[in-house]
Amino acid sequence: MEKDTFFSISNKLEFPLPPSSSSSPMNHHHHQQQHQHQHQHLPEFLHVNWTHSGDQSATNGHFESALSSLVSSPTAPPVAGESVVIRELIGRLGSICNSGEISPPSSHFTGSQMAGKVSSPPTPMETEFKTAQEVSSVSGESNSRKRKSVMKGKAKETTTTTSIVNVSKGGEEDENVYAKRWKSAEDGKTKAEENNSGEVSGQKQGKDSNAKPPEPPKDYIHVRARRGQATDSHSLAERVRREKISKRMKFLQDLVPGCNKVTGKAVMLDEIINYVQSLQRQVEFLSMKLATVNPRLEFNMENFIAKDTHSMVHPLEAAAAAAAAAASAFPYSYQPQQGTTLEALTMQMQPHDGFADIPPQLGNFWEDDLQSVVQSFNNGSLPTSHMKIEL
Amino acid sequence: MHNNKYLKENPNQPLLAYHFIQALTRINLAAHTTSTKQRSHIIKHAAYVSMAFAAGNKRTWTHAVLHNRFPIKTRFHRLSGSRRSFIVSLSRNKETLHQAHLLRSLVPGGHAMEFSSLLMETANYIQYLTAQVRLMQCIVEKFDMHV
């Protein structure tokens, strides 16, 4: 409803519309269209550059005071959605306009801007909505908070308000800088959780510190300090680190079998170390076993067609066995392309279905390191010391 | 957080199997010229390399295995190292520090990481180690079945 008043007000301004529509009925139609596309158009009103000529100094002052009042007292609307917040802001703007008594010719409130922005990419508006949402979420919170990234938080806080202030003061460099910084910060933001509602009063502080050219966005991790906990930066960073570590320990707990009931970092670490050691020992033992087993090259192909629990390995093992069995025909020269070696393997034996899966996956996996290793395997007669050097 | 996505990656089993078995076949071909002990060592190296290969070069531990020399020590050295972890320490911090040091020596490339990323690398390393062990067990089983 407040929106309607605002729309009607702007209607009174008789702003020039795009060439397709110039009469008032078209205005209404345009407005109705815009009603449907609310979210795209509402922020346009906020972004409007109301360039004020010199004779509007009186109304300018009124605008400033009204808008600053709007700015300094963020409402606590329900966190139902950004549209609610926007409507509130629009409503307030509408009230300001009502009392401001805008004179049509001097307002420069062009409808061409509105229409032009119908097809504009929605990203600036989306970001506008994001910050509006944050403002609403901010004002609803009451716990003590600590911003991990001071500049970012301040930029967010100031620019949501300054974007509205921009409406009236469309010229101050400071706010343009803030708007830019806000946009760049939006791009680089990873997780936004907090803003201090009390920081609105510290806006001026932020303005002073932010009077620099926009910096490249950094990848901050935003943290919220809980009630009754220390809020200095060191303890906060410590807490973040501890939470990260405990999260990863929990994941490790799932990996290591039989560690569900173990609690505590020290015992868990012991278990992990033991498990890794046992796995490495197993690899060593199995490799020894494979070394003793491998020289036996005689295999029957029918045995390998039998079903296996580990079905993925099965066709490849069959290939390996077949290749080993037909050692004489196996090509000795190692070729860097997987396709040729695969063909070599398949040539020796009956076609297996499993091979279709493997070649597409490999692509460019073969690197020089493994190639050299395999070549040294090929040569075979090198002593172990040589092996180490090549690895 | 993209870190979590890394943690949830499952080892590419067929790729692992392919590389390892290819290495095995190569080793088999030269079986007549190498002793069993030599061959076991070579096979162990092949296991680690194919493991690192299947995991890709994004991981710190794979990088350490493939490019630097991850000292793949023998069993006995390991056992002597493990006894140290059970020495009763004076404070909790000392113990966790010792455990962290031990873990770093276990996971390839572990000395160059801080603790939280060390844990992540350990998780990935464990995933690939279990896959490799399962693969080797399957192969041994296959060979044993068809004596």
Q: Residue A211 in 3-state DSSP?
A: coil
Q: Which three-class secondary structure state does DSSP give residue A319?
A: helix
pTM over 0.90: no
- For the cut 60, the answer to whether the pLDDT of residue B125 exceeds it is yes
Distance, in angstroms, between A39 CA and closest chain B CA? Answer: 29
* pLDDT tier for residue A301 given thresholds of 50, 70 and 90: very low
pLDDT above 70 coverage of chain B, percent: 76
- Tell me the three-class secondary structure of chain B, residue by residue: CHHHHHHCCCCCHHHHHHHHHHHHHHHHHCCCCCCHHHHHHHHHHHHHHHHHHHHCCCCHHHHHHHCCCCCCCCHHHHHHHHHHCCCCCCCHHHHHHHHHHHHHHHCCCHHHCCHHHHHHHHHHHHHHHHHHHHHHHHHHHHHHHCC
Q: Dihedral angle at the C-alpha atoms of A87, A89, A90, A95, nearest 10 degrees?
A: 120
Model confidence at A222: pLDDT above 70? yes
d(CA A57, nearest CA chain B) in Å: 51
- Mean pLDDT across B117-137: 90
Average pLDDT score over chain B: 76
pLDDT score for A278? 93
The predicted-structure confidence for B36-69, as pLDDT tens digits, reads as follows 888 888 888 888 888 888 888 778 888 877 776 6
Mean pLDDT to the nearest integer, A69-85 = 50
Number of other CB atoms surrounding residue A238 within 10 Å: 12
pLDDT the model gives residue A87 = 61
- ipTM of predicted assembly, 2 dp: 0.85
User: Chain A partners of B23 at a C-beta cutoff of 8 Å?
Assistant: 373-374, 377
Chain B closest-CA separation from residue A159 CA (Å): 27
pLDDT, residue A280, reads 92
Is the pLDDT assigned to residue A80 strictly greater than 80?
no
- pLDDT tens-place string over residues A277-291: 999 999 999 888 888
Does the distance separating the beta carbons of A381 and B116 come in below 8 Å? no
- pLDDT at residue B108, rounded to an integer: 87
pLDDT of res. A366: 41
| Structure confidence at residue A97 (pLDDT) | 55
Give chain A's mean pLDDT: 53
Residue B15 is predicted with a pLDDT of 84
B 71-110 residues with CB below 8 A of A?
A: 74-75, 78, 82, 85, 92, 95-96, 99-100, 102-103, 106-107
Which range has the top average pLDDT, A189-203, A274-288, A324-338, B47-61? A274-288
Mean pLDDT of B83-90: 46
Question: What would the mean pLDDT of B21-43 be, rounded to a whole number?
Answer: 81
Task: Report d(CA A258, CA A254) in Å as an integer.
Answer: 9
Structure tokens at B136: 């080797």
pLDDT at A182: 45
Q: What is the CA radius of gyration of chain B?
A: 17
Residue A96 pLDDT class (50, 70, 90 cuts): low
| Cα distance from N-terminal residue to C-terminal residue, chain B | 51
Q: What confidence tens digit (pLDDT) does each residue in B95-114 have?
A: 788 888 888 888 888 888 88
Give the pLDDT of residue A130: 46
CB nearest to A276's CB, from B33, B66, B106: B106
Torsion angle (degrees, nearest 10) of CA A352, A357, A360, A361? -130
Size of interface A-B (CB pairs under 8 A): 225
Map residue A221 onto helix, strand or coil: strand
Nearest CB to B42; choose among A299, A330, A377: A377
Query: A248 vs chain B: nearest CA distance in angstroms?
Result: 6
Closest residue on chain B to A323 (Cα): B25
The pLDDT confidence band at residue A83, using thresholds 50, 70 and 90, is: low
Q: Is A228 left (phi over 0), alpha (psi -120 to 50) or beta?
A: left
Mean pLDDT of the region A163-173 = 44
Query: Which DSSP symbol is given to A191?
Result: B
Whether the per-residue pLDDT at B116 is higher than 80: the answer is: yes
Cα separation of A146 and A226, whole Å? 9
B124 vs A80, residue with greater confidence: B124
Check residue A101 and give left, alpha or beta (phi > 0: left; psi -120 to 50: alpha): left
The listed range with the strongest mean pLDDT (A10-19, A160-169, A377-386) is A10-19
Q: Which of A167-176, A237-246, A344-353, A363-372 shows the lowest per-residue confidence on average (mean pLDDT)?
A: A344-353
A271 interaction partners in chain B (CB closer than 8 Å): none
Phi and psi at residue A102, in whole multiples of 5°? -70, 140
Hey, CA dihedral for A348, A349, A351, A353, is it positive or negative? negative
Instruction: Tally the residues of chain A.
Output: 391
Q: Is residue B147 very low, low, confident or very high in pLDDT (cuts 50, 70, 90)? A: low
How many other CB atoms are found less than 10 A from the CB of residue A42? 22
For residues A305 and B14, give the distance between their C-alpha atoms in angstroms, rounded to a whole number.
18
For B:121-140, CB contacts with A below 8 A are 122-123, 125-127, 129-130, 132-140
Show residues of chain B in contact with A313, CB under 8 Å. 13, 17, 135, 138-139
CA–chain centroid gap for A390, Å, is 42
CB contact under 8 A, B145 and A303: yes
Residue A176: pLDDT over 90: no
Q: Which residues pair with A191 in a beta bridge?
A: A221
Evaluate if residue A208 carries a pLDDT over 70.
no
Nearest-10 crossing angle of helices B115-145, B92-106 = 50
DSSP state of A102: -
Query: Cβ of A273 and B82 within 8 Å?
Result: yes
* Banded model confidence at residue A383, pLDDT cuts 50, 70, 90: very low
